[in-house]
Chain A
Amino acid sequence: MAKYVIGATGALLGVLAGAWLMLAPFALAYQNSGADWADPTFVDFWTGLPLLVVSVVGVILYVSGLVEELRRRGIMRRPYAEPAGQPQAPSEPSDNASGSENNMEQVLLPLVTAMLKDMQERDRGRSETHQETPNNVQQARSAGEEGSVRS
């Protein structure tokens, strides 16, 4: 990760050097404004301009590398990341509209999962009580019958 920061800093210095080279002939007054450009002006300007452009590209590349690294390490979130195991359908015109629905689903998914778990646990509890109650009923009935005989 540090390598990208160092690279971006170096490229940024390249941008500044390129900008300085373009301005230097006028700033140091070895090129009079309005006069034909002298050889030093040509050299400085046409070295500075490509250097500026190339260094801007370098800054973009290093920063994108840094962002990629941060995403790979989980420090930064990937925008519009799809959850694992839910492949998205190929893009259709209605996809933009359904994007917010997908987000809503992602938000609601843990809640629904927790609810389902809760319901399953309740069902399990009920089935266990059902297994216990027929015996209890039979016992109660037999006790009732015995009582009726006695009376």
Chain B
Amino acid sequence: MAPQARGGLIVTVVGFFAGIWLFLAPFLVEYQKVGQDWIDATKNDLWTGGALMAFSALTLILFAAFALRDAARAAEQKNIAEAEES
């Protein structure tokens, strides 16, 4: 895997964990009391965190899928080239 791709994947994983943190932060930092109506900050953090988790996960899944497709194509081409040589 190219170093740029590896770095990019790490960044995406960091984004995913940032989403988890945002989702839990109102309750961990205790500016949202459990059982009470959600304040604006809680709503914002839950929506932003959820969205961040969703598109980070989607990015990771799609990246993995396309990387596997590229790898499969490269292997096929290598096999064809070897068959032509022999």
Contacts and interface: CB of A to CB of B under 8 A. Distances in A.
The answer on A and B forming one complex is yes
A31 to B, nearest CB: 9
A58 B18 CA distance: 14
Nearest to A8: B8
Nearest to B15: A14
Interface size class on chain A is 35 or more
A17 B22 CA distance: 11
Contact of B66 (A2, A57, A64): A2
A68 B2 contact: yes
B59 A10 contact: yes
B4 A21 contact: no
Given A6-B62, A57-B11, A51 B31 contact: no
Interface residues of B, number: 36
B48 A7 contact: no
Contact of B41 (A11, A14, A20, A44): A44
B11 A55 contact: yes
Contact of B45 (A9, A40, A57): A40
Given A3-B62, A3-B70, A6-B59, A65 B40 contact: no
A137 B86 CA distance: 58
Interface stretch (A22-30, A76-84, A86-94, A124-132): A22-30
Contact of A68 (B4, B26, B29, B42): B4
A58 to B, nearest CB: 3
B75 interface: no
Nearest to A15: B15
A140 interface: no
A96 B8 CA distance: 35
Interface of A: 1-4, 6-11, 13-14, 17, 20-21, 24-25, 28-30, 38-41, 43-44, 47, 50-51, 54-55, 57-58, 61-62, 64-65, 68-69
Interface of B: 2, 4-5, 7-9, 11-12, 14-15, 18, 21-22, 25-26, 29-31, 39-42, 44-45, 48, 51-52, 55-56, 58-59, 62-63, 66-67, 70
10 contacts: A6-B62, A6-B63, A30-B39, A43-B25, A51-B15, A54-B11, A58-B7, A58-B8, A61-B4, A61-B5
